[in-house]
Structure 1
Amino acid sequence: MYLAKKNTSLFFRILLIIGFGYFFWLMLTITMEYIPFNTEVSFLMIKQTEVRQRPEYLSFFYVHVYTSILVLLFGFLAILRKDFGSKNFHRNAGKIYIFLILLLAAPSGIYMGIFANGGLYSKISFVILGCLWWFSTFKAYHLARQKKFKAHKQWMWRSFALTVSAITLRMWKVIIVYLFHPNPMDVYQIIAWLGWIPNFILIEYLITKKLI
């Protein structure tokens, strides 16, 4: 029984690594479109008003894009600490993850949320997402400093659930566009909320059931 449970856990762990690797690669290819600096590709093509009228917008955008891909990577490595080495590895990966979110990724994301496509509803969602992302990460950091590691782990999971909204948002976009063909601005209003709320509900359920 123990061996079967261990094998099942290993199987799902391998699936998790493969799945994350695939979606991380997709996110990396999106990020690479903006290297070197190019204001006329992909997402920036529909943000030319901000690019032209707000000189600081591009700085916040590039900070957010370049740091978020690293946040995804180091957050995942920190979570899979048992597979990648010692406690020091987990601690160092976690420090990078927390530093990038608190100082760069979340603040730049909140700023970009103010100018999100899709109108007021989208803006509210992305700003809330950015604030919750920053707060949950800071809470995890604060609890680790207090050596309350069980609570720290729970808040890190909450933080990472919001981190992967970068992936789930795009997944929902593909599904909604394929099934319903809505107006592009309507899509933004839907995925702005759908990208992170189900993640947060799922992680709360798992924490409540003590499954993580």
Structure 2
Amino acid sequence: MLSIKKNISNTLKILLIIGFAYFFWLMLKITFEYIPLDTNVSFLMIKQTEVAERPEYLYFFYTHVYTSIFVLLAGFLAILRKDFGIKNFHKNIGKIYIFLILFLAAPSGIYMGVFANGNIFSKISFVILGCLWWLSTFKAYQFARQKKFNEHKQWMWRSFALTVSAITLRMWKVFIVYLFHPNPMDVYQIIAWLGWIPNLLLIEFLITRKHI
């Protein structure tokens, strides 16, 4: 029985790694679109007003794009910490994850949220997302400093649930467009909330049931 459970666990872990690798590659391709710097590609093509009228917008945008991909990778590697067998690996990769979010990715994301596409509800969603992302990561950092590692783990899971909203947001977009073909701005207003709320609800459920 223990052997069967171990095999199932290993299989699920392999599937998780494959799934993450696939979506990480997709996110990496999106990041590569902005190398070299070009304001007439992809997302920036619909943000020309901000690009023209707010010189600081591009600084926040590139900061968010270039750091978020490393945050995503660092968070996932921290989850797989036991598989590397490297001393202090989890601690060091966690420091990178926390630093990037607190000082670069989350603040720039909050700024971008203020100018998000869609109506005021989209803007509110992305600003809340950025604030919760920062707060949950900071709480995780605080508990780690206090050596309250169970609480640290729970808050890091909440933080990572918000980190992967970059992936789930795009998954919801494909799903909704494929099934319903709505107006693009309507899609944006919907996925602004769907991208992160289900993630948090799932993590809270797993924490409550003591699965993580």
TM-score range, shorter chain: over 0.9
For the 8 Å contact 1:117–1:123, the answer to whether it is kept is yes
> C-alpha separation between the residues in 2 aligned to 1:103 and 1:87?
26
Alignment partner, residue 80 of structure 2: 80
- Post-superposition Cα deviations, 1:186-209, rounded to whole Å, max 9, x if no partner, equal 011000000000000000000111
2:161 aligned counterpart, secondary structure: helix
Q: Taking every aligned residue pair, what percent have the same amino acid on both sides?
A: 82
1:100 aligned counterpart, secondary structure: helix
Structure 1 gaps of 5+ residues are none
Q: How many residues align?
A: 212
Shift of residue 150, structure 1, vs aligned partner: 0.6
1:68 aligned counterpart, secondary structure: helix
Alignment partner, residue 123 of structure 2: 123
If the length of structure 1 is used for normalisation, what is the TM-score?
A: 0.99
1:112 aligned counterpart, secondary structure: helix
Pairing of 1:170-209 with structure 2 (within 5 A): 170-209=170-209
> C-alpha separation between the residues in 1 aligned to 2:154 and 2:134?
15
> C-alpha separation between the residues in 2 aligned to 1:78 and 1:138?
16
Alignment partner, residue 14 of structure 1: 14
> C-alpha separation between the residues in 1 aligned to 2:87 and 2:101?
21
For residue 90 of structure 1, what is the amino acid of its counterpart? H
> C-alpha separation between the residues in 1 aligned to 2:51 and 2:35?
17
> C-alpha separation between the residues in 1 aligned to 2:84 and 2:155?
21
Distance 1:145 1:87, change over 3 A: farther
Alignment partner, residue 56 of structure 1: 56
For residue 116 of structure 1, what is the amino acid of its counterpart? A
Pairing of 1:12-161 with structure 2 (within 5 A): 12-161=12-161
Alignment partner, residue 3 of structure 1: 3
For residue 69 of structure 1, what is the amino acid of its counterpart? I
Shift of residue 85, structure 1, vs aligned partner: 2.3
For residue 125 of structure 1, what is the amino acid of its counterpart? S
Structure 2 gaps of 5+ residues are none
For residue 34 of structure 1, what is the amino acid of its counterpart? Y
> C-alpha separation between the residues in 2 aligned to 1:84 and 1:210?
25
C-alpha RMSD over aligned residues: 0.6
- Post-superposition Cα deviations, 1:156-177, rounded to whole Å, max 9, x if no partner, equal 0000000000000000000111
Shift of residue 119, structure 1, vs aligned partner: 1.0
> C-alpha separation between the residues in 1 aligned to 2:50 and 2:178?
29
For residue 167 of structure 2, what is the amino acid of its counterpart? I
Question: Could you list the runs of 4 or more consecutive aligned residues of structure 1 that deviate by over 4 angstroms after TM superposition?
Answer: none
Shift of residue 87, structure 1, vs aligned partner: 4.9
For residue 89 of structure 2, what is the amino acid of its counterpart? F
> C-alpha separation between the residues in 2 aligned to 1:9 and 1:68?
29
> C-alpha separation between the residues in 2 aligned to 1:158 and 1:43?
27
1:55 aligned counterpart, secondary structure: coil
For the 8 Å contact 1:77–1:84, the answer to whether it is kept is no
2:88 aligned counterpart, secondary structure: helix
1:96 aligned counterpart, secondary structure: helix
If the length of structure 2 is used for normalisation, what is the TM-score?
A: 0.99
Distance 1:202 1:87, change over 3 A: farther
